[in-house]
Chain A
C-alpha cells in the first residue's frame, strides 16, 4: 500500500496536525510520500521525514498556493497517478475539506472524514469516524480502490525518530487555476496558537461576566502554552472573535486537555469538546451539567480559582 500525506503549513511552519497525519500513514505503511506546498526551509521539510515519510514532493510554484484549491486538487490528482498512490491521509481542516472532496471526485476515490483511529485492513478497509458532532462513531467501509481519509487530532502520537526524507521538487504539468476566485484580503491573528491545532485549550463562558476579565483566561493559557476558546454567547456578544467559539456551530476541538471556565456545559457546547482526552471544569455551580462530562472538577469562583491555578502551574513548570 502506498500512502500520500497532504502537508499544510502556516507561515513557513509545518502544522503539527500534518506531522500527525504522516505518523498515522507510517503506522499503515513503510512507503509514505508527503506533498508540501510553498516556501519551506529544509529543516521544516526534514520534520516530515522524522515523522516517518521517506520522500517529500515539494511544490514550489506559487500558482499552487494552498488557497488555490482547484489547482492544489489537480496537483494532488497528478501525484496519485505519477506515484501510483492507493491512499491519501490528511489532517481534517478548513483546507483539507474542499481539497479532499475535490480530489475524491477527480480520482474516483472513497472519502471518509473525521476519522478517529487507524484502519482495520483485515477484511477490506474500514475506519471509525466521528458523527453526530461527536456524540457517536460510525464504522465505515471504503469500497473504492483509491481512498482518502481526513483524520481528527490526537489519533496517533507524532513520531520524531525517522530519517531525513528525499526531497524532490514537484512541478505539476498543468495549471488548473482558480482564475475566478480572487483573495482580496486576509485578517489573521498570527502570534496565537491556532485553536484546532492546540494540545491544550482554555475556554471561558458567560460566567466570566465580560471581555475585560479575559486576562485571567489568557494568563492561564500562556502558562500552559494553550489556545483560548469560548462559548457561543461569548462570541455572540462580541466579547471574543467568532472563530474562537467552540461547539456544535463553532470549532470542534480534540485536545489532550480542555479547560472550561464559567461554561455551563450545554449539549451544543459539549458537542464540540467531547473528544478531548481530559476535561477540567471550573464552575461555581456544583450542579452545572459540564461536571458530568469532566475528568477533573473544581467548584469555585473563577475569579479566585484561576489566578491561584495559574500561579501553581507556573511554579510547577519552574
Chain B
C-alpha cells in the first residue's frame, strides 16, 4: 500500500488573524503554524493503515521553505518520506495540479487529505485532484478501512452518514473520528531528522483566481444584555429586530 498524505501548513486554531501592507498580506507575526487539523486526522489514519497492511507513507506539501518544520512534524508522526513542492500555494487549482503530478509519478494507491484546509476552507482540492486523475474522491470521510483493492468508508452527509465501497485508487478528504491525532514521540522526532525531504520545483505555473485584498469582518455593535427575569423583552427583540418570527 503506497499512501500519499497531503498536508497544509496553517495558523493554529486559536490564532488571531490580521493583515499588513494595506490588507494584502497575512501577518505571520506571533502566529504558531501547525499541520491542518483535518490533515492530521488523515496522517494518523495513514499511520494506522500502514501498521496494519504494510507499505509506505509520503507526506506532501505545496509551500515555501517556511513549511519545513510542519513537514518534519509529519515525518515524526510516522511518514517515511516527504515531498515539498517549492511554490507559494496560489490557489486550489494550482495546488491540485501539483498534487496530481506527484501522484502520476509516484503511483499511489491511496491519496489522503483533510476535509478542508483551515486557512482557505475551500474543500476543493480533493475533487480537483480526483478529476485530474480520473479517479473517485470522497469527503468528508469518518471511517476508512482497506480490504484488498477496496476501500470501505463512511462519509458524513447532511443529517447523517453513508457507507461506501470504492475500488482503489481514491482520494479521501478525512475528518474525525477516522483516527485519534498522534503526538510525535522522542524516537519519531529523532528519526524525522534523517528521513528524506525532497524539494521539487513546481510543475508548470497555473492559477485561476487571484486574491486582491483581505477584509476583516465588521465589529459587533455590542451585546444587549437582558435580565433573566425579563424574557419578554428578548422575545420582543427577536420578533421586531431580528425578525425571526
User: B-contacting residues of A (Cβ < 8 Å)?
Assistant: 10, 67, 69-70, 73, 93-94, 97-102, 104-106, 109-114, 126, 128, 130-144, 178, 180-190, 192, 194-197, 199-200, 224, 242-243, 248-249, 252, 256-257, 267-268, 271, 274-275, 277-278, 280-281, 291-301, 304-305, 308-309, 312-313, 316-317
In the complex, what distance in Å separates the CA atom of A190 from the CA atom of B221?
Answer: 38
Q: Given the interface contacts A98-B127, A248-B37, does A136 sit within 8 Å of B215 by beta carbon?
A: yes
User: A-contacting residues of B (Cβ < 8 Å)?
Assistant: 11, 13-14, 17, 19, 37-38, 92-93, 96, 118-128, 130-132, 136-140, 142, 152, 156-167, 175-177, 207-217, 220-221, 223-228, 231-232, 234-235, 237-239, 241-245
B227 CB to closest chain A CB, in angstroms? 8
Contact: B217 with A136, CB < 8 Å?
yes
Contact: A189 with B209, CB < 8 Å?
no
Contact: A313 with B208, CB < 8 Å?
no
Instruction: Specify which chain B residues have a CB less than 8 angstroms from the CB of A277 in the assembled complex.
Output: 242
Contact: A243 with B131, CB < 8 Å?
no
Contact: A111 with B118, CB < 8 Å?
no
Contact: B208 with A295, CB < 8 Å?
no
Instruction: Specify which chain B residues have a CB less than 8 angstroms from the CB of A309 in the assembled complex.
Output: 231, 234-235
Contact: A187 with B160, CB < 8 Å?
yes
B113 CB to closest chain A CB, in angstroms? 12
Q: Given the interface contacts A111-B209, A140-B210, A248-B118, does A243 sit within 8 Å of B136 by beta carbon?
A: no
Instruction: Specify which chain B residues have a CB less than 8 angstroms from the CB of A139 in the assembled complex.
Output: 211-215
Contact: A278 with B164, CB < 8 Å?
no
* Inter-chain pairs besides A134-B217, A243-B156, 11 sampled, C-beta below 8 Å: A94-B157, A101-B125, A111-B92, A143-B208, A183-B163, A243-B161, A249-B176, A256-B243, A297-B224, A299-B228, A313-B245
**Which of A94, A141, A192 counts the most chain B CB atoms within 10 A?**
A94
Q: Given the interface contacts A97-B139, A185-B162, does A305 sit within 8 Å of B123 by beta carbon?
A: no
Neighbour of B162 across the interface among A183, A271, A299, CB < 8 A: A183
Q: Given the interface contacts A137-B214, A188-B157, A267-B13, does A98 sit within 8 Å of B238 by beta carbon?
A: no
Q: Given the interface contacts A196-B158, A296-B224, does A313 sit within 8 Å of B131 by beta carbon?
A: no
Neighbour of B159 across the interface among A102, A133, A195, A293, CB < 8 A: A195
Instruction: Specify which chain A residues have a CB less than 8 angstroms from the CB of B215 in the assembled complex.
Output: 128, 136-139
Neighbour of B224 across the interface among A144, A188, A295, CB < 8 A: A295
Contact: A257 with B14, CB < 8 Å?
no
What would 14 A/B residue contacts be, using CB atoms closer than 8 Å?
Answer: A70-B136, A100-B127, A101-B137, A102-B131, A110-B93, A132-B11, A139-B212, A139-B213, A195-B158, A243-B160, A256-B244, A296-B224, A297-B223, A297-B226
In the complex, what distance in Å separates the CA atom of A292 from the CA atom of B211?
Answer: 30
Instruction: Specify which chain B residues have a CB less than 8 angstroms from the CB of A293 in the assembled complex.
Output: 220
Contact: A101 with B128, CB < 8 Å?
yes
10 smallest CB-CB distances across A and B, nearest first, come from: A101-B127, A300-B228, A188-B160, A98-B127, A105-B131, A110-B208, A137-B215, A102-B131, A180-B167, A97-B123
Neighbour of B137 across the interface among A94, A98, A299, CB < 8 A: A98
B180 CB to closest chain A CB, in angstroms? 11
Summed over the interface, the residue pairs from A and B with CB atoms below 8 Å come to a total of 252
Neighbour of A97 across the interface among B127, B225, B239, CB < 8 A: B127
A interface, by DSSP: helix, strand, loop or mixed? mixed
Q: Given the interface contacts A94-B140, A192-B159, does A312 sit within 8 Å of B235 by beta carbon?
A: yes
In the complex, what distance in Å separates the CA atom of A111 from the CA atom of B216?
Answer: 22
Contact: A299 with B225, CB < 8 Å?
yes
Contact: B131 with A294, CB < 8 Å?
no
In the complex, what distance in Å separates the CA atom of A292 from the CA atom of B238?
Answer: 19
Instruction: Specify which chain B residues have a CB less than 8 angstroms from the CB of A69 in the assembled complex.
Output: 127, 136-137
Instruction: Specify which chain A residues have a CB less than 8 angstroms from the CB of B207 in the assembled complex.
Output: 143
A304 CB to closest chain B CB, in angstroms? 7
For residue A300, which residue of chain B has the nearest CB? B228
Neighbour of B208 across the interface among A67, A109, A224, CB < 8 A: A109
In the complex, what distance in Å separates the CA atom of A304 from the CA atom of B142?
Answer: 37
In the complex, what distance in Å separates the CA atom of A200 from the CA atom of B239?
Answer: 13
In the complex, what distance in Å separates the CA atom of A120 from the CA atom of B37?
Answer: 33
In the complex, what distance in Å separates the CA atom of A187 from the CA atom of B227?
Answer: 42
Neighbour of A257 across the interface among B177, B212, B238, CB < 8 A: B238
B50 CB to closest chain A CB, in angstroms? 23
Q: Given the interface contacts A97-B124, A137-B217, A298-B228, does A132 sit within 8 Å of B223 by beta carbon?
A: no
Q: Given the interface contacts A101-B128, A111-B209, does A131 sit within 8 Å of B119 by beta carbon?
A: yes
Instruction: Specify which chain A residues have a CB less than 8 angstroms from the CB of B13 in the assembled complex.
Output: 133, 248, 267-268, 271
In the complex, what distance in Å separates the CA atom of A308 from the CA atom of B176?
Answer: 36
Contact: B160 with A189, CB < 8 Å?
yes
B228 CB to closest chain A CB, in angstroms? 3
In the complex, what distance in Å separates the CA atom of A155 from the CA atom of B194?
Answer: 50
For residue B224, which residue of chain A has the nearest CB? A296
B45 CB to closest chain A CB, in angstroms? 15
A29 CB to closest chain B CB, in angstroms? 21
Contact: B127 with A291, CB < 8 Å?
no
**Which of A111, A132, A183, A275 counts the most chain B CB atoms within 10 A?**
A132
For residue A225, which residue of chain B has the nearest CB? B245
